[in-house]
Amino acid sequence: MAVKVCVLTGYGINADNELVTAFNKVGADAEKVHINDFIENPALLRNYSIAGFAGGFSFGDHLGSGLVYAELFKKNLKDELDRFIADGKLIIGICNGFQVLVKMGVLPNLHGDWTQEVSLVHNNSGVFEDSWVNLKFNPDSPCVWTKGLDTMDVPIRHGEGRFITDSPDIMKRLKEENLIAIRYNDRNPNGSQEDIAGITDTTGRILGLMPHPEAFIFPENHPKWTRKTITEGEGLKIFRNGVSFFGK
């Protein structure tokens, strides 16, 4: 039976179709579910093994990127998401989804109480960054999603992607426990501390990242696809890792 994936959608989300396609291309049974459906019936979350928080500009980012979405989820669905995580299930948040997870306190959640410990703020450049970057994956990270990966080209598209924490202790733990799963390899496009592009939680089952692997799922997505031999969109490797986790 295919692994069931819910890709959360709602006002301002615009990368949900890409994320559904990415999961389905690696054999999952993915579908979009509106956040209001979960708020009305939180137990619906139990029907899925993976939850995907897609990119976009949820609620217009009017109060800050991902903040309204995060507060809605935290107020209405905290118990169900705690159960989801305790049951050994997986979560991925991409771009706006990453912003939602850190502002909910789900990532990195080092204190276990959903207190926000890190944030994603305006790029140092002061402009919306829309380009391709090369990523380096941490081979020592416990992250399920990045297991066995080395480097990868993927696009970025964000205005608030600079990863920060004002706590030296939090940064120390992220580094010592290898929770920094992904770093910008060739250049740091937003000024993130420690070149951080993505982090995981202590279980290794929750990943948040600013770049968009779901936007590189066909060879033709790459800007150099006519000059390089690309047999598969490399972003699929991340989603294949997640889906394969349930077949081990």
Return the active site residues.
Answer: 95, 212, 214
Adjacent-strand bridge partners of 90: 50
Q: What stretches of the chain adopt beta strand conformation (E)?
A: 4-9, 29-34, 50-53, 90-94, 119-121, 129-137, 151-158, 162-164, 180-184, 196-200, 206-209
CA atoms of 197 and 162, how far apart (whole Å): 9
- The two structure tokens encoding residue 90: 């997986």
In what side-by-side order are the strands of the sheet with 196-200? Answer: 29-34, 4-9, 50-53, 90-94, 206-209, 196-200, 180-184, 129-137, 151-158
Query: Is 11:58 a contact under the CB 8 Å cutoff?
Result: yes
Q: Which residues of 172-194 are buried (b: 16+ CB within 10 A; e: fewer)?
A: ebbeebebbbbbbbeebbbebee
Strands 180-184 and 196-200: antiparallel
Instruction: Give CA–CA dist 73/34, Å, rounded.
Output: 12
